[in-house]
Structure 1
Amino acid sequence: MTQHDSAESAPVEIRAGVELPAVREPIELVTSDGLRLVGELAVPEGRPPVATLVTLHPLPTAGGFMDSHILRKAAARLPALADLAVLRFNTRGTTSPRGTSDGAFGEGDAERADVAAAMDFVEARNLPHPWLLGWSFGTELALKYGLEHRIDGAILLSPPLHRTSEAELRRWQDAAPRLVALIPEFDDYLRPAEAATRFAGVPRLERIDVAGGRHLWVGETQTRRVLDEIVAVVNPAAAPLPTSWPLASA
């Protein structure tokens, strides 16, 4: 092996700007009210995914979109590291580098059709074991509409519980899909003590309180913690995630 070959194969630390191998496909979702939503599907190279993350981004009126950093890094890393398919899309009226979805922000109500369009796509593509992965505003969509669809469960990152009613929460009490919530210690909206109270009606919730965590999960330490927790739920055989690429040979 030449010195050049050795340099090319040297492991690289997985950090913010690293995008690992995957098959990435620009997609469009079509809603029941005729809107076209832009998005991307990332799947493992050369092998089928073992599960699917349907991501729901933070509040678009506060800068949330399909490229919000945790969701972008999930798509960049998890097809290669954990054999997961990752579906990202802009909800109605939301713009990202991928493009702008039709329509206008619907305060979490009209977005019911956006979630349905994403799940229709998952069904049409026969993507396995779908999980909703919501972040902030996206957790409201997961809680409000997730049980209308065939899902294995929902993972909530920094749930604010601003738009989810108590009745909507109670529906999860006896539901079959798992419900997991990551609650940052220093969240801007819902911290662990308050989360314990607000989720008291859903005792089967798997609550993970993250010491030092913040609402936006900024920094590689917090990013790795979040992605590790996601993978531990959805494909535990792949957890904890490696921190360098390419992976060492067995």
Structure 2
Amino acid sequence: MVPGPTGNLEAMYLDDTGACGIALLCHPNPQQGGTMLNKVVSTLQRTARDQGLATLRFNYRGTGKSDGTHDMGGGEVDDAEAALAWLQERHPGLPVYLFGFSFGGFVAASLSGRLELRGEPAVRICLAAPAVTRIVAPHWLSGQGRLTVIQPEQDEVIDPQLVYDWAQAQQRPLQLVRIADSGHFFHGKLIELKDAVLQHVFDMNTAGADASADPDA
């Protein structure tokens, strides 16, 4: 349990005593059943952990065992900020990586803006199928740090064209990665998601990735 603005937040912390950075993972829409146990979020956390980062995924207020009630806006960003502060206390001075899926993409993007405002920008921001229509004032995306947007081409929840148009309109460099034949939840495509993160967030050549790995691991 991590202290949050409206009470405790349920979280899953994967420590690394020799961590080279820290990663916060933000889950999808809690009003539609999204929690930190989502397989996309789990995949992102394990990928970041395997690259030597200390990682934390957490449930927003009113989700799982977290206290409070849903806000569906700034409240969840406040929760993410508190969760990141908890992680930073345990790993001070390390570079910050932000990951968000769907609604969590909005949360991670908005948090990146807050970090930039206080002069502590994230070094990497990875948004998977992000809810881009929510990233409007008073929320904003940081102009600093490497930005990777991973969008499934057959997304049935968030219109892919909205994400493509949003990405094209950004006044900053970014990497847009399209995952072919994939729906919103990356069913059967978690290996491709992991490979995209390794290649574009962690600068790894994934040509030799183990395609036989459990796609839901």
- Under a length normalisation based on structure 1, what TM-score does the superposition of the two structures give? 0.72
Q: SS in structure 2 opposite 1:49?
A: coil
Change (3 A) 1:74 1:190: closer
**1:125 corresponds to 2:90:** yes
Larger Rg: 1
- The 1:73–1:145 alpha-carbon spacing in structure 2 relative to 1, beyond 3 Å, is closer
TM-score, normalising length from structure 2? 0.82
* Structure 1 residue aligned with 2:20: 50
Which structure 2 residues correspond to residues 30-179 of structure 1 after superposition, within 5 A? 30-31=3-4, 33-44=5-16, 48-76=18-46, 78-79=48-49, 81-95=50-64, 100-126=65-91, 128-149=94-115, 150=120, 151-165=122-136, 168-169=139-140, 171-172=141-142, 175-179=143-147
Q: C-alpha distance in 2, partners of 1:186/1:153?
A: 26
Aligned to 2:182: 213
Q: How far apart are the structure 1 equivalents of 2:169 and 2:47?
A: 35
Give me the identity figure in percent. 23
Change (3 A) 1:75 1:68: same
Aligned partners of 2:7 and 2:67 also within 8 Å: yes
Structure 2 residue 200 is matched with structure 1 residue 233: yes
Q: Where does structure 1 lack aligned partners over 5 or more consecutive residues?
A: 1-27, 246-250
8 A contact 2:148–2:201 mirrored in 1: no
Q: Which runs of 5+ in 2 are unaligned?
A: none
SS of the equivalent of 1:114 reads helix
CA shift digits 1:159-197 (9 cap, x unpaired): 13232216745x54xx22222111111112444433232
Contact kept in structure 2, 1:184 and 1:191, CA below 8 Å: no
CA distance in 1, matches of 2:75, 2:137: 20
Asked if the contact 1:232–1:238 (Cα under 8 Å) also holds between the matched residues in 2, the reply is yes
Computed over aligned residues only, the root mean square deviation of the Cα atoms, in angstroms, reads 2.4
Residues 42 and 86, structure 1, Cα contact 8 Å, conserved in 2: yes
Report the Cα distance in structure 2 between the residues aligned to 1:117 and 1:167, rounded to whole angstroms: 19
